[in-house]
Amino acid sequence: MWLMVFFDLPTKTKPQRRRANRFRESLKKDGFMMLQLSVYARVCRGQDAVDKHVRRVRSSLPKEGSVRTLQVTDKQYGRMELMLGNAPKTESVGASQMVLL
């Protein structure tokens, strides 16, 4: 199962940027990988792990902005298509995709 976090945080002032960066760092520290600038994802082994990581995301929420989570199965995640532009070296475009952590 995959847990995805989508967020839109204000970054106009220096304190806002600092809070947004702290939030991003907390996601990375918890094992999330960046898919796009404001989209992070991680693999979870079952619903208990998803619940644990959602609690961790809630505990590090900044006071402004919006944060959403979405859980998808491995099969659903595998059907994601990367379109437009070139894939970075850490990503491959193709029907069979595997991420080893």
Annotated binding site: 8
Please name which of 97, 101, 59, 77 lies closest in space to residue 4, comparing C-alpha atoms. 77
Annotated binding site for Mg(2+): 8
Tell the residue number behind the tokens 């402004």, with chain if given.
Answer: 64
Query: In what order do the strands lie in the sheet containing 33-36?
Result: 33-36, 39-43, 2-8, 66-72
Helix (H) or strand (E) holding 4: strand 2-8
Token pair for 95: 């029907």
Q: Do 41 and 5 contact (CB within 8 A), yes or no?
A: yes
